[in-house]
Amino acid sequence: MIEIDKAYSPSPVEAKWYKYWQDNKLFKSEVDNTKKPYTIVIPPPNITGMLHLGHVLNNTIQDILIRYKRMQGYNACWVPGTDHASIATEAKVVNHLASQGITKKDIGREEFLKHCWEWKDKYGGIIISQLEKLGISCDWDRLRFTMDDDYYTKVIESFVKLYKDGLIYRGYRMVNWDPVTQSAISDEEVYYQTMNIKLYHIRYPMVDGSGEIVVGHNQTRNYVW
């Protein structure tokens, strides 16, 4: 007589089969000119802690697509990666150091990078294990991280080539300025609008007479120079 559990327990079943898939390299993709290629490059999550429901949703959709194409006979390759820009990761590391009374400027670039790698080793591993728990079928031999030397070098080479080819260029643009990191982050949610308005300049002299602060004001915005 076979004993059947009252409720299905996914943990032992999923862990067993996912290990089998990985051990047998069922997700691995090699160049094969006899098959039509189909590739997805995973939108890499920031290694800021744990995956959220948005990650679960978009990775599930990608997994459905890649498995469907694999079943259709395509040479399907799903390329995994983590931390699409390292900006959010940097913010997390800066906050972590601040809780210990340490600032990025105090320790310098090289020491700060060491802390970034430590953060990546801790939280990047958690995120990868969570993705594996979802059962996603990435080619894990292709896993990349933003700060990997080879990856970083190729990104720089690509941007330089695009610039020399005239496909990307520098120009004056309105951007969002982060006063904490002292850096221009992006131009998301920046809306351009031409207006004919009056701009008033008010000069505030320093108490010690060393200079002044000029504040520009109009009906809609405040600016400080």
Contact 178, 94 (CB under 8 A): no
Say how far apart CA 125 and CA 209 lie, in whole Å: 56
pTM confidence score: 0.67
The pLDDT score that the predictor gives to residue 81 is 83
The pLDDT score that the predictor gives to residue 125 is 77
The pLDDT score that the predictor gives to residue 150 is 86
Residues of the chain with confidence (pLDDT) below 70? 1, 45, 48-49, 84-86, 218-225
pLDDT, tens only, 179-217: 877 777 777 777 777 778 788 888 999 999 899 999 887
CA dist 189 → 175, 176, 186, 192 (Å): 9, 8, 9, 10
How do the domains of the chain map onto residue ranges?
10-147
Q: Which residues pair with 76 in a beta bridge?
A: 38
Phi, psi of 178 (to 5 degrees): -95, 110
The pLDDT score that the predictor gives to residue 163 is 94
Say how far apart CA 177 and CA 187 lie, in whole Å: 9
10-147 is a CATH 3.40.50.620 domain = yes
